[in-house]
Amino acid sequence: MSGVMALPGLSALLAWPTEHLTEAAGHWEAIGERCYGVANQVWRDALSVDWQGSTADALRSATHADMLTTSAVADQLHEAAKVARSGASDLYAARSRVRYAVEDARTAGFFVGSDLSVMDRSTGGSATQRAARAAQAQVFAGDIRQRAAQLIELDAQIAGKVAAAAAGIRDTFPQDPTPGEPPKDNPVQAVDNHTFKEDPPLPFPVAPRDMTEAQARAAWDAVCADIAQFNTRCGRTFLLPNEQASYDACIADRGPLLERQAAIRARLGELGVPVEAELPPAPDPAGEPPGEGLPPAGVTPPVEGNLTVGPPSRPSQQARGGESLWDEHGGEWRFDPRNDRWHHPHWDYNPHDTPNSQWQNVPIGDLPTHK
C-alpha cells in the first residue's frame, strides 16, 4: 500500500507558483534566438572573408557545423519553452480547482484550516443536523485534499517533463573547447572565433516551497542583498532626462524581487525560522508616496490573510510601474486615491476567479466609493 502523501499548508497551495515556468520559457526562447543568430552570423562572416586554403576551409566547416548544432539547440529550447508554458497553464488550472473547493466549503459555512481540515462554523441545530454537517465537512475535506494531491502530483510530472525537454543542452558545447591546430607549414594562424563565450544557461533554481532550512536562509540573505542593491540603484528623487529609461528599467525589477522575497519569507515561516532585520521593499529617501495602486500607510483591504505586493494584471498599469496587493485567494486589490466630483478614495478589486472576472469598487471603511 502506498504511503499517505504529505500535503503543504493551505496558504502554500493557494499561492502555488507558476511564474518560474513562464519566466524560464521566455528566457530559453530568447537564448535560443540569440545563440542561433550569433552562430549564423559567424558562419556568414567566415564565408565572406577573402581567404583561401585549408585553414580557411576548416574555419568555414567548423562555423557551419556550429551553426547546425546551435540550430538544433535553439529548436530544443523552443520545445522546452512550450512544455514549460503548457505546464504553467496546467498548474494554474489545478491551483484554481483547489481554490474553488475551498471557496465552496467556506460558502457553505465551514472553516478551512491551514492543515486542510474542515470544521462547521455553526453550533446550533439538532443532533441529526450536526451529524449531517459533520459528514458534509468530511466530504469537503476529502475533496480539498484530493485536489491538493493532484496539484502536487502534477507539479512533479511537469518538473520531469521540463527536465527531459531540456536534457543535454548544457553538454552540447564544451565549457573550454580546444581549438584545432592548423597545418604546421601554414603561416596563417587560425583564430577560434566560432565558439560561445557562455554555454546557454538553463537556470532552474529550487522553488522556495522545496527549500531546506539552510537553502531558505541562504536565499533570504541573497534576496535581501539584492533588495539593498536595488535600493541603491533606484533610490533616486531627481532624474536627468537621459536617465529616465535606465530608471524605468531599474524599477521594473522591483516586482519580481518582492515576489521572491515573499515566497522565501513564507518558506522560512513554514520552517519556523524567524526573519530578522528585514530590509524595506523599496527606497523612500524623501518621503515619496506609495507607487500607483498601493495604499498609504495604515490602509489595508477588507480581506483576511496575508497580502503580497506584486505586478498588476493590466499591462497598461504594468507599463506605468504600478503595483497591486494580492490576497491568498488570488484576488487583486488596487488603491484608487481619486477624490474628485464623483469619487471618494476606494479599492478596485478583482477576484480573478473566472476567465473574465469583473472589477468591483469596494469602500474604505464607511466612506462610500462614489459621491
The mean pLDDT value for 85-92 works out to 92
Q: Give 4 or 74, the one with higher predicted confidence.
A: 74
Q: How confident is the model at residue 113 (pLDDT cuts 50, 70, 90)?
A: very high
DSSP secondary structure string for all residues of 320-358: TT--EEE-TTS-EEEEE---SSSB-SEEEEE---STTPP
- Which of 9-13, 248-252, 254-258 is predicted most confidently? 9-13
> Does the pLDDT of residue 100 top 90, yes or no?
yes
Q: Give 195 or 216, the one with higher predicted confidence.
A: 216
> Does the pLDDT of residue 254 top 90, yes or no?
no
Whether 140 and 35 map to the same domain: the answer is: yes
Whether 241 and 117 map to the same domain: the answer is: no
Residue 102's pLDDT is 94
Please tell me the distance from the alpha carbon of residue 235 to that of residue 150, in angstroms, as a whole number: 44
Which residue, 219, 260, 271, is CA-closest to 20?
A: 260
Whether 315 and 261 map to the same domain: the answer is: no
> Does the pLDDT of residue 97 top 90, yes or no?
yes
Q: Give 188 or 53, the one with higher predicted confidence.
A: 53
Under 8 Å between Cβ of 150 and 94: yes
The percentage of residues in the chain with a pLDDT greater than 90, rounded to a whole number, is 22
Please tell me the distance from the alpha carbon of residue 261 to that of residue 216, in angstroms, as a whole number: 11
Whether 330 and 269 map to the same domain: the answer is: no
Whether 115 and 236 map to the same domain: the answer is: no
Cα separation of the two ends of the chain? 64
Query: Which tens digits make up the pLDDT trace of 17-63?
Result: 889 898 988 888 888 888 888 888 888 887 877 777 787 788 888 88
Burial level of 128, CB count in 10 A (0-12/13-18/19+)? exposed
Q: Which of 156-165, 189-198, 274-283 comes out lowest in average pLDDT?
A: 189-198
Q: Provide the mean pLDDT of the chain.
A: 77
Whether 71 and 119 map to the same domain: the answer is: yes
Q: Give 1 or 141, the one with higher predicted confidence.
A: 141
The mean pLDDT value for 72-94 works out to 91
Whether 251 and 330 map to the same domain: the answer is: no
Whether 157 and 238 map to the same domain: the answer is: no
Residue 232's pLDDT is 56
Cβ-based neighbour number of residue 236 at 10 Å? 16
Whether 166 and 18 map to the same domain: the answer is: yes
Under 8 Å between Cβ of 155 and 70: no
The mean pLDDT value for 354-364 works out to 84
Q: Give 314 or 284, the one with higher predicted confidence.
A: 314
Under 8 Å between Cβ of 158 and 18: no
Residue 65's pLDDT is 85
> Does the pLDDT of residue 154 top 70, yes or no?
yes
Identity at 88, one-letter amino acid code: A
Identify how many contiguous H helices and E strands the chain contains and give both numbers.
Answer: 8, 7
pTM to 2 decimals? 0.46
Q: How confident is the model at residue 174 (pLDDT cuts 50, 70, 90)?
A: low
Single residue among 129, 146, 171 that ends a domain in this structure: 171
Whether 165 and 273 map to the same domain: the answer is: no
Can you say whether the dihedral through the CA atoms of 27, 327, 345, 261 is positive or negative? Answer: negative
Q: How confident is the model at residue 228 (pLDDT cuts 50, 70, 90)?
A: low
Confirm whether 294 is domain-assigned: no
Q: Provide the grid cell at 144.
A: 480539498
Single residue among 262, 277, 292 that ends a domain in this structure: 277
Confirm whether 85 is domain-assigned: yes
Confirm whether 298 is domain-assigned: no
The mean pLDDT value for 242-248 works out to 58
Q: Provide the grid cell at 324.
A: 497591486
Q: Give 353 or 6, the one with higher predicted confidence.
A: 353
> Does the pLDDT of residue 242 top 80, yes or no?
no
> Does the pLDDT of residue 197 top 90, yes or no?
no
Output the CA–CA distances (angstroms, integers) from residue 278 to 140, 218, 221, 283, 328, in the order listed.
38, 14, 10, 13, 22
> Does the pLDDT of residue 244 top 70, yes or no?
no
Confirm whether 295 is domain-assigned: no
Which residue, 270, 148, 252, is CA-closest to 207?
A: 270
Confirm whether 197 is domain-assigned: no
Place of cell 554555454: 199
Q: How confident is the model at residue 279 (pLDDT cuts 50, 70, 90)?
A: very low
How many separate domains does the chain show? 3
Residue 239's pLDDT is 43
Which residue, 313, 298, 305, is CA-closest to 356?
A: 313
Single residue among 106, 141, 171 that ends a domain in this structure: 171
Confirm whether 86 is domain-assigned: yes
Confirm whether 62 is domain-assigned: yes
Please tell me the distance from the alpha carbon of residue 252 to that of residue 4, in angstroms, as a whole number: 43
Under 8 Å between Cβ of 35 and 73: yes
| Residue 319 domain boundaries | 308-363
Whether 17 and 146 map to the same domain: the answer is: yes
Query: Which tens digits make up the pLDDT trace of 290-346?
Result: 678 898 877 889 998 888 888 888 877 777 788 899 898 889 999 988 876 677 788
Whether 101 and 160 map to the same domain: the answer is: yes
Confirm whether 271 is domain-assigned: yes
